[in-house]
Structure 1
Amino acid sequence: MPEARPSPKYIQYPGIEFVSLYRKGGYHPVNVGDVFHNQYRVVNKLGYGVHGTVWLVEDTILKRFASLKVLTADASAISSELAVFRHLRVQQQQIPPAAGAAYVMKVFDDFEIEGPNGTHQCVVTELLGPSLAEDIEELYTNERFPPNVGKKIAAQIAHGIAYLHRCGVIHGDLHLKNILLHHPSLENCSLHEIQLYFGTPETLPIARRDALPITPSAHLPRHLVASSNPLPLLKLCLAFPQTVCIKICDFGEALLYRALSQLNINTPIQSNMPRVFAPPEILLHEATIPQPAMDIWALAVLLHMILTGGGLLFSSYHGIEKEVIREIVLTLGKLPERWWTQWVDRGEYFDENGMFVGDQSKLPKISRKLVKLSVDDGFSEEDLRVFEDLVRKMARYETNDRISADEVVRLIPAAWMTGA
């Protein structure tokens, strides 16, 4: 994979993909106005990651707007994402749609392109709004979704994960950035309306740090494109609680687990999910076969963040692996013995009975409750009871002890889905 590091050669703008990754094996050079697959005309940029760039495109045949993800050549060669997308596209063509399918990003098309930097997988999906990681301070002064909106989003995510698991897909990377808001009007907007929500392309020149002129190169785009301001879209997607809708996206870490479960694999899973979302079997490098229970632990952390306005279920100062494990033990108790003995950093924080030996004054206050919410946050006593019970059944050490995504859906009150 290309490395995520600033280029020593080029000026690196904030919020722009690393220019150094426009090279063999890296990003495909995309320019506004380019047409892909004789069908998709690039209108603006939506975002980027270390594994690819994402573009707002106009489908000139079907007369709608969509999202185009162009993977780096290196990522294209090893990614399992395309197999997952193709599998989901077949599932999503069911009529009527299966329960929960409405909360998973729709996949329209996929193809490969050859470019100066290699062969790139391209995936066309429905056009979505900003992620749940965006700053919502201008909409909600306490930087937290109102309880009715937060509960609706939480319920939709649970339904979406239950659908994925029924399809045999483990998402593998649940966090706020991989949950996008959606508004049904986006797909069939006019170009003028699209520009109201996504703006017009803001281009930036490619420049060298040493101020020498840029040598023309097929490996580079003509210019860089900044991602658009998310606020207009946030306002559209969150205007009315009754119409709030999310879509689970980014399947770069996803796997079709039913086939993998038949294999004899002894190598620990190399997961790239943020450590604060990772279950203990990943943190302690035990898991070799992906299981849906991995998503269930991460889902518990994610739902807690949404309802609390960013509060972690297991607090960690910096998201450092050993600190996350420490917080898990402080909250849930001593790890199962096989994990306890292999956790080499345990003596830094605990004695062999699992009792904390460090400076108590530097630790967050630990209560008997997992959920950091109260009636003062606008939740009813019944909501708090239900959510506490739900999280306790999801965040269990042993994977076989965690409830399934379908059970999560059954335990979430139906009223949470209404947004009323």
Structure 2
Amino acid sequence: MKSGLIANFKIKLLCVFSASRRVASRCSRPHFSTMSLNPSIEYQWIDGVERLELYQSAGYHPVMINDMLHNRYRIVDKLGFGGYSTIWLARDETAKHYVAVKIGISSPALPRREPEILRALHDSRSNPQPPRAAPDADACTALPAIIDAFDVSGPNGTHACYTLTPAQGSLKEASFSRLFPIKVARALAAKLATAVAFIHSRGFVHGDIHLRNVLVELPSTFDELSVQEFRGKYGEPDTVPITRVDGQPLTLNVPAQAVVPLYLGKKAQEFTLADTHGLLLSDFGEAFSPATEQRLGRDCNIPLAKRAPEALFEPNEPLSYPSDIWSLGTAIWEILGMKFIFSESETQDEIVAQQIDVLGSHNFPERWRKQWERLGEEQKYAKGAIPQRPTSDRDTWPSLEIAFEEFVQEYRRKREAAGTFEEEETRAILELVRGMLRFRPEERLTIDEVLRSEWMVKWALPQLE
């Protein structure tokens, strides 16, 4: 199964569709605005791969299957891509195991944030205050660890690369049209919350919490596969020739073939409690430390449906830990019921309207209401910058309680093996979610309060033991 997660970008060209061996790529959000494109070269569109126009100076590094990087890492297949990098499965010919190689774009404007932040998070000397309510003293295992770091040079510039332990895929991919067993869902929610608690205790905000960035480790036996055995199990790389629209030969800036990302994981209903211990919260490219740097709401790049409302209504104010709590709350909801609490394909005006429907207009801050309900005052606001109440007819979304019944419980009843939540647990879940999704960031639960909540203590955290 493939995904249409190419970008918010459409070219009316001939489409080349890839084989069905693959599923959704691990592309969380394409930040294409960071780069200037060369409009003189266009490529035939290929479903399921990165934006090919970004193979240019300051862009992606062209990679082919069997390429050797750093005289050590042989490329075996592709795992995913984002606006800032491509991610590849490689065989470490020195250590004789598999690694994920993340190859960044070469843009000089792109700081090498992620490796630095991950090293700081794993450094026990950095703010060594464990999450007070976290039961897992080894919570840092839920964060990726940098194995090796190096640079590669190519026709598009010099690219920062680093290797990590490969993962089987994201929870978003695993849960596509499927449900996690109820015990597994509880444990995944608890493990993700303890990971966020660890990050916050180290003085960082993750800044991009959603299920495409929540991965699950591969079994330890994966490294025992030779490349030939790997091919026998997962198939040959799914490659599609790249061609230019104008029919001219390819330059060295772009690879001869595009590779559709491979999904190594299993379906949600096949997950066990043992799998939950391998949860990894990945992609720290948006992470920041509120104590040492300022991240304004307008610079928030998390997908719109997961974005805390203060980033929309107060774009010139700094974000902090509560923005993670909002995103974590929506992620927990999605783990429990597969369906996202708000629409993932609407404008910011419609998403805010849905948030007000679900959470209640009486909870909407008065300081935002005037902006939200404005009429004929566009000269005060940059067009589209601040959400505005839709004036056209729209379908009203259900309240939180009804949404849980319709979006979570109803799906679980149709799949009896997944399990449903009893009345007492449902009440505790809704109490937790409402506390995490308060409009005013200062009123949201802290991560320690999340971990001390009734649902976490009675139902979720015990599944990790």
The one-letter amino acid of 2:360's match is L
CA contact (8 A) 2:87 2:102 kept: yes
Superposed, 1:279-318 pairs within 5 Å as 279-286=308-315, 288-312=317-341, 315-316=342-343, 318=345
Give the TM-score taking structure 1 as reference length.
Answer: 0.83
Number of positions where the alignment pairs a residue of Structure 1 with one of Structure 2:
398
Question: How has the CA–CA distance of structure 1 residues 360 and 9 changed in structure 2, closer, same or farther, with 3 Å as cutoff?
Answer: closer
Give the TM-score taking structure 2 as reference length.
Answer: 0.76
Structure 1 range deviating more: 368-377 or 22-31 = 368-377
Shift of 1:384: 1.0
Which position in structure 1 is the counterpart of 2:49? 16
**RMSD of equivalent CA atoms:** 3.4
Structure 1 range deviating more: 283-292 or 404-413 = 283-292
Shift of 1:115: 2.0
> What secondary structure sits across from 1:259 in the alignment?
coil
Shift of 1:366: 2.8
Which position in structure 1 is the counterpart of 2:187? 152
Unaligned segments of structure 1, at least 5 residues: 349-355
From 368, 372, 376, the equivalent of 1:339 is 368
> What secondary structure sits across from 1:329 in the alignment?
helix
Shift of 1:346: 7.7
In structure 1, distance between residues paired with 2:63 and 2:125: 29
* Pairing 1:202–2:238 present: yes
Question: How has the CA–CA distance of structure 1 residues 204 and 160 changed in structure 2, closer, same or farther, with 3 Å as cutoff?
Answer: same
Which position in structure 2 is the counterpart of 1:272? 301
CA contact (8 A) 1:116 1:219 kept: yes
From 423, 426, 446, the equivalent of 1:384 is 426
The Cα offsets for residues 307-357 of structure 1, whole Å up to 9 and x where unpaired, read as 111231xx3473311112112223232422222223365899xxxxxxx99
Shift of 1:74: 1.9
The one-letter amino acid of 2:423's match is E
> What secondary structure sits across from 2:207 in the alignment?
coil
Superposed, 1:175-194 pairs within 5 Å as 175-185=210-220, 188-191=223-226, 192-194=228-230
> What secondary structure sits across from 2:424 in the alignment?
helix
Shift of 1:370: 6.7
Shift of 1:368: 5.3
Which position in structure 2 is the counterpart of 1:220? 254
* Pairing 1:241–2:298 present: no
Question: How has the CA–CA distance of structure 1 residues 369 and 402 changed in structure 2, closer, same or farther, with 3 Å as cutoff?
Answer: farther
Shift of 1:249: 0.7
Question: How has the CA–CA distance of structure 1 residues 104 and 6 changed in structure 2, closer, same or farther, with 3 Å as cutoff?
Answer: farther
Structure 1 range deviating more: 252-261 or 152-161 = 252-261
> What secondary structure sits across from 1:181 in the alignment?
strand
Question: How has the CA–CA distance of structure 1 residues 160 and 345 changed in structure 2, closer, same or farther, with 3 Å as cutoff?
Answer: farther
Question: How has the CA–CA distance of structure 1 residues 135 and 108 changed in structure 2, closer, same or farther, with 3 Å as cutoff?
Answer: closer
In structure 1, distance between residues paired with 2:125 and 2:190: 20
Which position in structure 2 is the counterpart of 1:255? 288
The one-letter amino acid of 2:241's match is P
CA contact (8 A) 1:127 1:187 kept: no
Superposed, 1:329-368 pairs within 5 Å as 329-330=356-357, 331-334=359-362, 335-343=364-372, 362-366=395-399
Unaligned segments of structure 2, at least 5 residues: 1-33, 131-135, 378-388, 414-418
Which position in structure 2 is the counterpart of 1:124? 163
Structure 1 range deviating more: 252-261 or 125-134 = 252-261
Question: How has the CA–CA distance of structure 1 residues 57 and 98 changed in structure 2, closer, same or farther, with 3 Å as cutoff?
Answer: farther
> What secondary structure sits across from 1:74 in the alignment?
coil
